[in-house]
Structure 1
Amino acid sequence: MESVYWFIFGLLAVIVAGMLLTQGGIVSGNASQLQAFFSLRNNYVFVYALMMAGDWLQGPYVYALYQHYGYGVKDIGRLFIAGFGSSMLFGTVVGSLADKHGRKKAALLYVLTYAASCATKHSPDYGILMFGRLLGGIATSLLFSAFESWLVAEHFSRGFDEKWLGDTFSKAVFVGNGLMAILAGLVASYLVDTLKLGPVAPFDAAIVVLVAGGAVIYASWPENYGDSARSHPRPPSTRPAFDAPRADQRIALLGAMQSLFEASMYTFVFLWTPALSPAGEKIYHGMIFACFMTASMAGSSLSAILMKRYKVEAYMKYVFGLSAVALSVPFLFHVSLSKEGKEAVRGISLQGQIQLVAFCVFEVLVGIFWPSMMTLRARFIPDETRSTIINMFRIPLNLFVCIILYNVHLFPLSAMFALCSVFLAIAAVLQVSSECVN
C-alpha cells in the first residue's frame, strides 16, 4: 500500500504549496517598519530552523543508538524518563535564570548544553548516557522557552504590531517543525545508511548545526531580559511566576490547555506505529513520517491565514475539538472492530489506512496549534517571567509522559487513545470557558 502514502503525501504537498502562495500580504505597514520587521523575522526563523534541525537530527536514532550499545527496553525507557524528568525538574529554574540573566545567554546555553548531550553519545557507558539525557532535558526546556521569550521581548521593544507575531511564529513552525524535520531525517538516514558512519553520526551532525546557529545568535542577537527584570534587578525567583496563574485566570487556563494538548501529542508520537500495524503489518515509517510533517506544515501555513482573519480564541476550541475526534478514531477501531485482516500482514490494513488519514488530520491541527498557542502566550504571559511560566506549563506534560513511559505496557492501545481524546475534549471546554474570562 505504498501508493496510499504517496497519494496522501502528494495531496498534502499540493495543499502546502497552495497555502504558501496565498500567504502574501499577511503583514502590512509602512515600508521602513516592514523592512525592520522582516529582518527580525527572517533572522529568527533562520536561527530557529537551525536549532530545531539540531534536535530533529537526533530523533530517528536515539533509540537505535542505545540498542546499538546493547541496552534493552527497560534500560532505554529509564534513559527516556530521565530526559523528561530533567526537563520537568530543572525547567522552571533555567527559565527563571533566562528571565533574569538574559534570553540570548539562555539560547547560547541551549547550544552548549545540547551539544554536550550529543557528545556523550560517543560513550557506551550507561552513566555517561544518563548524564547526556539529563543535559538533553535541560536543553529542551531552554529550546521551548528562551527562544520564544527572546523573540516576543525583541518584537515589542522595536514597536512592532502584536498581530505580526503570528506571521513569525507560523513561518518558524513551518520551517523548523516541518521542513527541517523532513530534511534532518533524510540527512540522518544518509549518514547512517548510505555513508555507513554509524548511529552516532547524526549526533555529530547535530553538534555542527547547533554551533553554526549559536554563532549566528552570538553575532546578531541583542540581549533582552523582560521589562521588569531590566528596570528592577533582583535575584532570580520563581515566586512571581507561580503567582501569575492565580492572579490571572487566563494564564492558568492557557497552561492547562497547553499541557493537555501536548500530553496527547507526545502520547500519539509513542503510539502511532502500533496503531497502524497492530498485527505486525509492514508499514513505511519514513513515508508516514513525511506525511505527518507535511500535514503539520500545512497546519502552520493555515494558522497564518486564520490569525489574519479571526481572533485566535475564536478558532482554537475547534482545533481542540477536531483533535479529540481525530484521536478517537483508533480508539473506536480497536474497541469495536474485530481483527479481521490476516492478509494485511503484507501491508497496511483498511483500518490502518483510515487511521492514517485521521492521524494526518491531527498533524494539521498540531501545525495550527503551535503558532496559535505561541501568539496567545505572547499576549497574556507577563514578559518579566515569560521563560519561567512557559516551563511551568511543561511540568504536567513531562510528568504525564514519564508516567506513560514507565507504565505503557500496562494499558491497552484503545485506552491510551481514549485518554488522549478526553484530554483534548477537556481542552476544548477550557477554551470555551476562557472566552468568558475578562
Structure 2
Amino acid sequence: MELFYYAVFGGLAAVVAALELSKTNKDRINTSTAFNSFKNNYLLVYSLMMAGDWLQGPYVYYLYTTYGFGKGEIGQLFIAGFGSSMLFGTIVGSLADKQGRKRACVTYCITYILSCITKHSPQYKVLMLGRILGGIATSLLFSAFESWLVAEHFKRGFDQQWLSLTFSKAIFLGNGLIAIISGLFGNLLVDTFSLGPVSPFDAAACFLAIGMAIILSSWSENYGDASENKDLLTQFKGAAVTIASDEKIALLGAIQSLFEGSMYTFVFLWTPALSPNDEDIPHGFIFATFMLASMLGSSIASRLLSRNSPKVESYMQIVFIISSASLLLPILTSFLVAPSKVKGGGISFSGCLQLLGFSTFEACVGIFWPSIMKMRSQYVPEEARSTIMNFFRIPLNMFVCIVLYNVDAFPITVMFGMCSIFLFVASILQRRLSAIADKPSEYYVCSS
C-alpha cells in the first residue's frame, strides 16, 4: 500500500505544478510595484506566523503523553485551549479594533512564544496555562492579521481586486507549503536529530520572534473604531447589532462557523477513521498529502478570484456540497465495504477510498480560506472588523469543545454524518447569501 500513498501525493503535486505553470494573463492580476512590495512583506510575516503554528500541531498530543498524561487529561487541556479562544481570545481580539491591529499582531507573537515556553514543564497547571495562552493567540492569528491587512490595503489606495491575490497567496504558502515544510522540519528535529518533542516548540518560538521583529520594524498601525468613548461592552453591543441588522453578515458568520466547526472536527477524526484496527499508517506523510491538497484548492481559488465570473458567492455553494459529500465516505464505506477485523497491518481498501475523499475535503478547505476572506472584506464593516470576526468564532469554539468532550460518546460515522449535514446547511446558507449579495448593506454600528 505504500505505493498508494506516493501515487496520491505525486498526483496532487503534479496537478498543483500544472495549475501554477499553466497560468495565463487571464489568470493573473496586473499590479503595481508598491503593491508587490507590500504583499511580499505581508506574505513573509504570515508565513513565519503560520510556521510557528504548524510546527506545534503534530507534537502537542505526543508531548503530553511523554509527560505521562492520559487521554482524559489531554482532552481537558485541548478543551481549555478552545475555551480560552472563545472567552479570553474574543475579548483580546476585539481590543485590536480600538488599540491597534499591529499591536494585536505583536501580542499574538508574545502570547504564543510564552505558550511555547510552558511546554518545557511537565506540570499540569503550567501546561494548562500554556493552552490558555495558545487559545488567546489562535483568536488573534485568525482576526488581527487579516484585519490589519484589509485596513492597510485600502489605506494605501490599492485596488480591491488585488486583495484576493494576497489572500490566495497567503493560503497557498501559509496553509500549504509552509505546513508541509514545518511538518518535515519538525520530524527532522524530533526523529533525525533526536532533540526531543519540545524542540519543535522552541523552533516555533524562534520563527515567531523573527516575525515579530519584522512587524515592529516595517508595519504601520491601523485601527477600527478608535473613539475614546467606547468601552469594550459597547463595542461588543455594536458588533452584535451589526450582525443582527445585516443578513449578509449574519449568514457569513453562520457559514464560517459551520464549515470551520466541521473542519476542526475532521482534524480529530481522520486518524481513527483511517486506522480503525490500529493499522500502521504514515501520519506525517498523510498530513503532508492533506496540505498539498489544500495547496491545490488555494491554487484553484486564485484562478477563480482573479476573474469576475463566477462570483465567489456562487462557486462556494458547489464547494460546500462537494465537501459535504466527501465527508460522507466513511459512512458509505462502512455499508459497502466489509470491515476488516485484522489488527495492525497496512491501510485497508476502505481506508484508501476515505483518504481520497479526505484529500478532496482538504482541497475544499484550500478554496474556502481565501474565498471567505474575500467575502469578509466585502461585507464586514471596517470599524468593527476584528470584533465581528471573533464573534464568528464563539459558536465555532463552543461546538469544538462539545465535540471534544463527547468524542467517545458517539460512533465515528455519526460524527462524520453530523459534519456532512453542517456542510450541506452551509451550502444552503451560501445560496441565500448569493441571492442577496447585490443588495445594499443595512448594517449600522451602535455609537452610543
8 Å CA contact 2:277–2:342 kept in 1: the answer is no
Supply the distance in 2 between the matched residues of 1:287 and 1:39 (Cα, whole angstroms): 34
8 Å CA contact 1:331–1:417 kept in 2: the answer is yes
Query: Is 1:428 aligned to 2:427, yes or no?
Result: yes
- State the percentage of identical aligned residues: 58
Query: Is 1:55 aligned to 2:53, yes or no?
Result: yes
Q: TM-score, normalised by structure 2?
A: 0.94
Query: What is the aligned partner in structure 1 of residue 38 from structure 2?
Result: 40
Deviations 1:289-325 (A, max 9, x none): 1110100001001101011232100100001000000
Supply the distance in 2 between the matched residues of 1:97 and 1:277 (Cα, whole angstroms): 43
State the shift of 1:233 in Å.
6.3
Query: What is the aligned partner in structure 2 of residue 347 from structure 1?
Result: 346
Query: What is the aligned partner in structure 1 of residue 446 from structure 2?
Result: none
Query: What is the aligned partner in structure 2 of residue 392 from structure 1?
Result: 391
Query: What is the aligned partner in structure 2 of residue 189 from structure 1?
Result: 187
8 Å CA contact 1:263–1:400 kept in 2: the answer is yes
Query: What is the aligned partner in structure 2 of residue 7 from structure 1?
Result: 7
Code of the aligned partner of 1:287: F
State the shift of 1:20 in Å.
1.7
State the shift of 1:119 in Å.
0.4
Query: What is the aligned partner in structure 2 of residue 367 from structure 1?
Result: 366
Query: What is the aligned partner in structure 1 of residue 145 from structure 2?
Result: 147
Supply the distance in 2 between the matched residues of 1:395 and 1:165 (Cα, whole angstroms): 26
Deviations 1:396-417 (A, max 9, x none): 1111111111110000011000
Distance 1:231 1:74, change over 3 A: closer
Supply the distance in 2 between the matched residues of 1:22 and 1:44 (Cα, whole angstroms): 25
Supply the distance in 1 between the matched residues of 2:343 and 2:127 (Cα, whole angstroms): 39
State the shift of 1:161 in Å.
1.5
Equivalent residue for 2:129, pick from 117, 128, 131: 131
Query: What is the aligned partner in structure 2 of residue 243 from structure 1?
Result: 241
8 Å CA contact 2:75–2:404 kept in 1: the answer is yes
Query: What is the aligned partner in structure 2 of residue 267 from structure 1?
Result: 265
Query: What is the aligned partner in structure 1 of residue 378 from structure 2?
Result: 379
Distance 1:55 1:253, change over 3 A: same
Distance 1:344 1:125, change over 3 A: closer
Supply the distance in 1 between the matched residues of 2:276 and 2:404 (Cα, whole angstroms): 19
Query: What is the aligned partner in structure 1 of residue 301 from structure 2?
Result: 303
Supply the distance in 1 between the matched residues of 2:320 and 2:47 (Cα, whole angstroms): 26
Deviations 1:116-165 (A, max 9, x none): 00001111111111011000000000000000000000111111111111
8 Å CA contact 2:294–2:363 kept in 1: the answer is yes
Supply the distance in 1 between the matched residues of 2:23 and 2:387 (Cα, whole angstroms): 33
Deviations 1:234-281 (A, max 9, x none): 434211111111111000000000000011111111111111111222
Code of the aligned partner of 2:20: L
Code of the aligned partner of 1:119: I
Code of the aligned partner of 1:15: V
Deviations 1:368-414 (A, max 9, x none): 00000000001100011111111111111111111111110000011
Supply the distance in 1 between the matched residues of 2:194 and 2:360 (Cα, whole angstroms): 36
Distance 1:155 1:27, change over 3 A: farther
Structure richer in helix, relative to its length: 1
State the shift of 1:232 in Å.
6.9
- In the TM superposition, 1:283-362 aligns within 5 A as 283-309=281-307, 310-339=310-339, 341-342=340-341, 345-362=344-361
8 Å CA contact 1:27–1:164 kept in 2: the answer is no
Supply the distance in 1 between the matched residues of 2:351 and 2:71 (Cα, whole angstroms): 26
Which secondary structure state, in structure 1, belongs to the residue aligned with residue 220 of structure 2? Answer: coil
Supply the distance in 2 between the matched residues of 1:88 and 1:343 (Cα, whole angstroms): 42
State the shift of 1:344 in Å.
8.1
8 Å CA contact 1:94–1:388 kept in 2: the answer is no
State the shift of 1:22 in Å.
3.4
Supply the distance in 2 between the matched residues of 1:85 and 1:409 (Cα, whole angstroms): 19
8 Å CA contact 1:335–1:414 kept in 2: the answer is no
Query: What is the aligned partner in structure 1 of residue 63 from structure 2?
Result: 65
Q: How many residues align?
A: 432
Query: What is the aligned partner in structure 2 of residue 160 from structure 1?
Result: 158
Code of the aligned partner of 2:261: A
8 Å CA contact 2:96–2:386 kept in 1: the answer is yes
Code of the aligned partner of 1:427: A
Which secondary structure state, in structure 2, belongs to the residue aligned with residue 127 of structure 1? Answer: helix
Deviations 1:16-51 (A, max 9, x none): 11222234644545xxx6111111111111100000
Supply the distance in 2 between the matched residues of 1:23 and 1:44 (Cα, whole angstroms): 23
Distance 1:325 1:190, change over 3 A: same
Supply the distance in 2 between the matched residues of 1:52 and 1:144 (Cα, whole angstroms): 11
Which secondary structure state, in structure 2, belongs to the residue aligned with residue 346 of structure 1? Answer: coil
Code of the aligned partner of 2:19: M
Supply the distance in 2 between the matched residues of 1:111 and 1:97 (Cα, whole angstroms): 16
Supply the distance in 2 between the matched residues of 1:232 and 1:434 (Cα, whole angstroms): 35
8 Å CA contact 1:173–1:370 kept in 2: the answer is yes
Supply the distance in 2 between the matched residues of 1:362 and 1:380 (Cα, whole angstroms): 26
Distance 1:91 1:334, change over 3 A: same
Code of the aligned partner of 1:273: T
8 Å CA contact 1:179–1:297 kept in 2: the answer is yes
Which secondary structure state, in structure 1, belongs to the residue aligned with residue 306 of structure 2? Answer: helix
Distance 1:121 1:343, change over 3 A: closer
Equivalent residue for 2:204, pick from 196, 206, 209: 206
Query: What is the aligned partner in structure 2 of residue 280 from structure 1?
Result: 278
8 Å CA contact 1:92–1:388 kept in 2: the answer is yes
Q: TM-score, normalised by structure 1?
A: 0.96
Supply the distance in 1 between the matched residues of 2:337 and 2:320 (Cα, whole angstroms): 26
Code of the aligned partner of 1:106: A
State the shift of 1:102 in Å.
0.5
Supply the distance in 2 between the matched residues of 1:280 and 1:6 (Cα, whole angstroms): 21
Unaligned runs of 5+ in 2: 440-448
Code of the aligned partner of 1:383: E
Question: Runs of 4+ in structure 1 displaced over 6 angstroms?
Answer: none
